[in-house]
Chain A
């Protein structure tokens, strides 16, 4: 059986591509980092991959708005290719800036065709970039990336991660569709974490197939214990971090299909 392959998209300002590739590889996958220009020139490059990942960073400087320009580039130049990729069973993962991009491409939303987007990731309530660790609660449903995960910790690092809506009804629809699969949760001593003021503590969402998933926290930054802020003297330094499960899950699902 071939090891599953993940395409890690990079472009001007992408900056989590190497550690995201490392996470997939540590989980047993093969990866290739591909520049968005190269992919736009030959979309058929996607044919060799089963996973398409948009990693974190500041694509195009997050100028105008975070993820805006890369999202525009994907919809204008790679929209059809990505739909075909998804239709043939490919997995799509957007982390942090990748989530901001995914949301603006419409790939995560059922009303993709209407062109009317009702949810967004807005500036954090604090108005500031924040790097901190949060507690998370998974409600995996059919989301392939979150299978077997329950309560865990990951770091966040962003200035625009506040999930919000202009329209409560469409939020209900997404909720009813089981798309809000990841939420900020309480710490051990009962403090609610929510680093950006997201509505309903939403930290990540998937599409209705469970095969497209975007989240603000960084699973690739917690694949081993030594990345945790309190590991020293408390955790086995050789242990895996919760984030590794995301990548293992993705590879396992694809592995089954490939096998």
Chain B
């Protein structure tokens, strides 16, 4: 029997109003809309029982009413209760069969509390539209634009005609061999494309040769396992390649680019640190581990989830976050997630719809979707999302970037897990379905305008509460030392997780034991599915009974599916029958490496061209404050629970008026003083101009964030996330090599080791234009640098908001005319000019001085200068504190003494106020501390430039008495908050 319970709101909510507004934006003049949540319930139960469910489980008597009937009953599609609109068009949006439906799963479990059992439940959104305003065709189009995602939903107009929910019969064993002999290279490439393997012809040659030595063709499941293991996503295919590079600083040959740049910097620093080395486990485990306090280490990982988010923003971002949380949970013997960060790179929100190629989700809908995904997953997990950024560039239109990161805490010296022969292979957490098949290989190929319809299976939907209970289970088991090793089931599913854990020992796996969400999955599907919220543990047989007991207590399913053997073979069986067998050595070491060519020619440096007619200093300052990169992200920040776990010390918005923070800070342990800081550096506008300086600038910015807020510059760990276009092209690869060189130089010079990283290449979008010509767009080369700092005592943390009038303001560090890629050049659409170049030695001196001032408690506030330079930083400090300031630009220490400013030369004023030279800070100091500050700063370049005022006005002068601009702080704040305040509508 299939029942339906419709729950109607007595009054329309905000979401309904937003849909009406969004439909009107699309030119669809609907004036009313009624929505309901419907629950489809399959099971052997009476009408009275379903009515009881309606009243006791599904409906709030104060705000809702419900209607109950069999699916298909006319009553369910008559006019909604309380509505006068008789002539309705009804639209249903429901998850496709097999797509995770968390609310329905919870509902099914909850029914048993009332003693009613259902065999299946599905949740549906229902919409009543006025039939006189809209045709069924328009309704369906609107549904796809606003209410549903092709990757995961079905849309039904009119009555639902379902008779059952559960489906699928158990898979019957059949083994499929894939002959590779006799195929030409183009045949092999076609095979790879057709099966979404993302293997090159060269790699398939190696596979063929290997199986020829075994005298047979590979089975499909073997080929799939190899494809997952050899995917760019799983093994740094490009970054680990031998590369011949030619660039402006000479020719370099690398045998393994990543090892010789990013990894090498860490090795150099660790050697220098010697006994004092505070790195614990780097580039090995699922996240990087460093020392924290006497009892704990901390670990950190940042991942990307770009392609799934491009197709299904909400689900893609949520599962991106879910994945990185499991990376931390799956480090060593399990770490407790403490904080999340997220960074999004998208096209400008007001990109004209006419210029958006087919198959691309408009940036505004995309951004609202990814924010919603992080919000719903992170908030439900009870992990505060405390840091982040949103960066805008037209190049991200087809390939938005979604970075998610997690910091975790683990007992000291628990970083190394080790699988023992005889250990059981245990899967724990969610069940396996068809969701997310081919995610790892999908992320390694280009997106196209047809990806949305073709790759739907690659999109996973998250179930945060499954992950929360899984986390509770893993941490409880870890406390009792019940497993030898753990890893998450992410890209590549079980094939990657078991494959990696058994890389040396080998394993026997009985695939029919994998718990399935529904029948019908083949052995291959069960093996490579990327269904979310699963972990794999290696457990000694003697520990299994206790582990199983804890799993039951926490309501988590844990199942033995095999054994780690020591045979060096990965043996896959289905009910005892062999379905595949792979040699682990071949699987992990057999991938042929290809020498790549790389070329970098820096663009010709042209002097910048400006058009400054009809503008003023104040206009430019306000334009910068409301520009997309700089503007307040409050509308996002406040949707994230950034205070859960109670460890918050410096939040993303600070001071009485909520100005922007530099680093955000949490305590590591409740009630203890030691803190963790997160800084983020992203100089994406430099990517297309000078990738080396983009990398260096981003790293310096991330560290500067931490130092400004109080971190010890001698203990900062870095993470790299490279997102690039098509690196098969030497010119693209050239920019990647330059960025890697930058990473090495910056890390070594600033003694900040990289501890973890990830790359996402092939961020290229192809489509056919109106003339039928294939077009493609690559993202700008983008390196996200994340810095993790530490502070002994969080009571020494300093925020960036002005504290008190009459306090003095100083700028530390030297300013040069470096406007290439600056925010000023972005808003004024200027090309050319020098990009900021970092002087590492000076930069380090500045970091140390700031830290000394902090340790002596001489800083009332401190802010690092980044996007928009000194002018924007001043405004932000004023906004946060709700206080004004008067500063004199003529007092700023300049690099080039020929740069003499005149108060009537707007260009020279703008250059000094908005240059983005790196390694500079603004500090606020109490009058009484003047002498102490002066003696601490000594001979590094710095200068007093003004003081805080209580008139709520930011006054910029150039030379004594000559005022350049005067702007009230509320005016500055309004400009900074303008975009955030307008982001009230948007559907996710």
Question: Chain A: residues with CB nearer than 8 A to chain B?
Answer: 12-16, 18-19, 22-23, 26, 35, 37-38, 56-58, 60-65, 68-69, 72-73, 76-77, 116-120, 122-132, 155, 157, 164-166, 218, 220-221, 223, 226-227, 229-230, 232-234, 237-238
**In contact, B63 and A122 (Cβ under 8 angstroms):** yes
* B747 interface residue per 8 A CB criterion: no
Q: Which residue from A12, A35, A77, A129 sits with its C-beta under 8 Å from B639?
A: A129
Chain B residues with CB under 8 A of A123: 13-14
Given A61-B102, A69-B106, A230-B801, do A76 and B114 touch, yes or no (CB 8 Å)?
A: yes
Mark contacts of B38-65 with chain A using CB atoms, 8 A cut-off: 1 yes-contact digit, 0 otherwise: 0000000000000000001110111100
**In contact, A157 and B60 (Cβ under 8 angstroms):** no
Q: Supply 17 A–B pairs (Cβ within 8 Å), ascending by A.
A: A13-B464, A16-B644, A16-B645, A19-B670, A61-B465, A62-B380, A63-B105, A63-B465, A64-B58, A64-B110, A157-B643, A164-B62, A166-B62, A229-B655, A232-B799, A233-B804, A237-B795
Chain A residues with CB under 8 A of B110: 60, 63-64, 68-69, 72-73
* B305 interface residue per 8 A CB criterion: no
Mark contacts of B547-559 with chain A using CB atoms, 8 A cut-off: 1 yes-contact digit, 0 otherwise: 0000001110000
Q: Which residue from B103, B554, B642 sits with its C-beta under 8 Å from A35?
A: B554
Min distance, Cβ B765 to any Cβ of chain A, angstroms: 31
A15 to B464, CA, bound (A): 12
**In contact, B639 and A120 (Cβ under 8 angstroms):** no
Q: Which residue from A72, A132, A164 sits with its C-beta under 8 Å from B63?
A: A164
Q: Which residue from B106, B375, B555, B803 sits with its C-beta under 8 Å from A37?
A: B555
**In contact, A130 and B638 (Cβ under 8 angstroms):** yes
**In contact, B984 and A131 (Cβ under 8 angstroms):** no
Given A61-B464, A123-B14, do A230 and B62 touch, yes or no (CB 8 Å)?
A: no
Min distance, Cβ A237 to any Cβ of chain B, angstroms: 4
**In contact, B14 and A126 (Cβ under 8 angstroms):** yes
**In contact, B553 and A35 (Cβ under 8 angstroms):** yes
Name which residue of chain A comes closest to B471, CB basis: A15
Min distance, Cβ A175 to any Cβ of chain B, angstroms: 17
**In contact, A131 and B640 (Cβ under 8 angstroms):** yes
Chain B residues with CB under 8 A of A127: 13-15, 18
* B980 interface residue per 8 A CB criterion: no
Chain A residues with CB under 8 A of B14: 123-128
Chain A residues with CB under 8 A of B656: 230, 234
* B468 interface residue per 8 A CB criterion: yes
Chain A residues with CB under 8 A of B640: 129, 131
Question: Chain B: residues with CB nearer than 8 A to chain A?
Answer: 10, 13-15, 18, 56-58, 60-63, 102-103, 105-107, 109-110, 113-114, 375, 379-382, 463-465, 468-469, 553-555, 637-651, 653-656, 658, 670-671, 794-795, 797-799, 801, 803-804, 860-861, 984
Most buried by B among A64, A132, A218, A234: A64
Given A230-B655, A237-B795, do A18 and B63 touch, yes or no (CB 8 Å)?
A: no
**In contact, A18 and B642 (Cβ under 8 angstroms):** no
A234 to B465, CA, bound (A): 39
For the A-B complex with A116-B61, A120-B60, A132-B638 known, give 11 more contacts whose Cβ atoms are closer than 8 Å: A16-B644, A18-B645, A19-B646, A19-B647, A60-B110, A64-B57, A127-B18, A155-B643, A157-B644, A164-B63, A226-B794
Most buried by B among A65, A230, A238: A230
Chain A residues with CB under 8 A of B655: 229-230
Chain B residues with CB under 8 A of A35: 553-554
Chain B residues with CB under 8 A of A165: 62
**In contact, A233 and B56 (Cβ under 8 angstroms):** no
**In contact, A65 and B60 (Cβ under 8 angstroms):** yes
A119 to B63, CA, bound (A): 9
**In contact, A221 and B798 (Cβ under 8 angstroms):** no
Min distance, Cβ A254 to any Cβ of chain B, angstroms: 22
A76 to B52, CA, bound (A): 14
A65 to B639, CA, bound (A): 18
Chain B residues with CB under 8 A of A16: 382, 644-646
Q: Which residue from B15, B647, B658, B861 sits with its C-beta under 8 Å from A233?
A: B861
Name which residue of chain B comes closest to A130, CB basis: B638
Top 7 A-B residue pairs of the complex, sorted by shortest distance between their CB atoms = A15-B382, A127-B14, A19-B646, A63-B106, A237-B795, A120-B62, A232-B799
Min distance, Cβ B418 to any Cβ of chain A, angstroms: 29
**In contact, B106 and A61 (Cβ under 8 angstroms):** yes
Q: Which residue from A23, A61, A119, A131 sits with its C-beta under 8 Å from B62?
A: A119
Given A72-B56, A120-B63, do A64 and B106 touch, yes or no (CB 8 Å)?
A: yes
Chain B residues with CB under 8 A of A56: 644
**In contact, B13 and A12 (Cβ under 8 angstroms):** no
Chain A residues with CB under 8 A of B382: 14-16, 57-58
Number of A-B contacts (CB under 8 A): 183
**In contact, A233 and B642 (Cβ under 8 angstroms):** no
Chain A residues with CB under 8 A of B464: 13, 58, 61
**In contact, B553 and A38 (Cβ under 8 angstroms):** yes
**In contact, B803 and A234 (Cβ under 8 angstroms):** yes
Min distance, Cβ B100 to any Cβ of chain A, angstroms: 12
A37 to B655, CA, bound (A): 43
Chain B residues with CB under 8 A of A68: 57, 60, 110
Chain B residues with CB under 8 A of A23: 646
**In contact, A232 and B465 (Cβ under 8 angstroms):** no
**In contact, A77 and B799 (Cβ under 8 angstroms):** no
**In contact, A76 and B113 (Cβ under 8 angstroms):** yes
**In contact, B650 and A22 (Cβ under 8 angstroms):** no
Q: Which residue from B113, B380, B641, B651 sits with its C-beta under 8 Å from A229?
A: B651
**In contact, B375 and A221 (Cβ under 8 angstroms):** no
**In contact, B797 and A232 (Cβ under 8 angstroms):** yes
Chain A residues with CB under 8 A of B648: 221, 227
**In contact, B803 and A22 (Cβ under 8 angstroms):** no
A166 to B10, CA, bound (A): 10
Chain A residues with CB under 8 A of B10: 166
Min distance, Cβ B552 to any Cβ of chain A, angstroms: 9
**In contact, B381 and A229 (Cβ under 8 angstroms):** no
A12 to B468, CA, bound (A): 7
A131 to B638, CA, bound (A): 5
A16 to B468, CA, bound (A): 12
**In contact, A122 and B671 (Cβ under 8 angstroms):** no
Chain A residues with CB under 8 A of B646: 16, 18-19, 22-23, 220-221, 223, 227
Given A69-B106, A157-B641, do A26 and B114 touch, yes or no (CB 8 Å)?
A: no
**In contact, B103 and A61 (Cβ under 8 angstroms):** yes
**In contact, B639 and A130 (Cβ under 8 angstroms):** yes
Q: Which residue from B109, B641, B654 sits with its C-beta under 8 Å from A131?
A: B641
Chain B residues with CB under 8 A of A125: 14
Min distance, Cβ A246 to any Cβ of chain B, angstroms: 14
**In contact, B671 and A26 (Cβ under 8 angstroms):** yes
Min distance, Cβ B107 to any Cβ of chain A, angstroms: 6
Chain A residues with CB under 8 A of B105: 63
Given A37-B553, A63-B106, A230-B656, do A129 and B62 touch, yes or no (CB 8 Å)?
A: no
A232 to B796, CA, bound (A): 8
Min distance, Cβ A117 to any Cβ of chain B, angstroms: 6
Q: Which residue from A12, A120, A129, A164 sits with its C-beta under 8 Å from B379?
A: A129
Min distance, Cβ B656 to any Cβ of chain A, angstroms: 5
Given A72-B56, A117-B62, do A64 and B107 touch, yes or no (CB 8 Å)?
A: yes
**In contact, A63 and B114 (Cβ under 8 angstroms):** no
Most buried by A among B14, B57, B465, B671: B465
A157 to B382, CA, bound (A): 11
A12 to B63, CA, bound (A): 26
Q: Which residue from B15, B62, B469, B671 sits with its C-beta under 8 Å from A12?
A: B469
Min distance, Cβ B336 to any Cβ of chain A, angstroms: 10
Given A12-B469, A63-B107, A237-B795, do A129 and B641 touch, yes or no (CB 8 Å)?
A: yes
A106 to B113, CA, bound (A): 17
A18 to B647, CA, bound (A): 11
**In contact, B649 and A166 (Cβ under 8 angstroms):** no
Given A15-B382, A61-B106, A69-B106, do A232 and B654 touch, yes or no (CB 8 Å)?
A: yes
**In contact, A72 and B651 (Cβ under 8 angstroms):** no
Given A19-B670, A128-B639, A130-B639, do A13 and B380 touch, yes or no (CB 8 Å)?
A: yes
